[in-house]
Amino acid sequence: MRTVGMVLGIAALAAIGVAAQQKASGGDDAAIAKVRSTFQAAAKAQDAAGIAKLWAPDGTEMPPNAPAVKGRAAIERYYKDFAQQFMVHEFTITPTETKVTGDRAYDVGTYKRQLMPMKGGATMDDHGKYIVLLKREGGTWWLTHGIYNSDIPLPAPPPPTKK
Distance from the first to the final alpha carbon of the chain:
91
3-class secondary-structure state, position 94? strand
Which class does domain 2-150 fall in?
alpha beta
Residues 25-75: pLDDT tens digits?
Answer: 568 999 999 999 999 999 999 999 999 999 999 999 999 989 999 999 999
Per-residue confidence band for 2, with pLDDT thresholds at 50, 70 and 90: very low
128: β partners: 111, 150
Closest CA to 41 of 33, 128, 98: 33
Angle (CA) 42-43-45 rounded to 5° is 65
Cβ atoms of residues 129 and 110 within 8 Å: yes
Residues 7-39: pLDDT tens digits?
Answer: 334 433 333 333 333 334 568 999 999 999 999
Residue 22, pLDDT score: 37
Residues 91-109: pLDDT tens digits?
Answer: 999 999 999 999 999 999 9
How many other C-beta atoms are found inside a 10 Å radius of the C-beta of residue 70? 16
Angle (CA) 70-75-79 rounded to 5° is 150
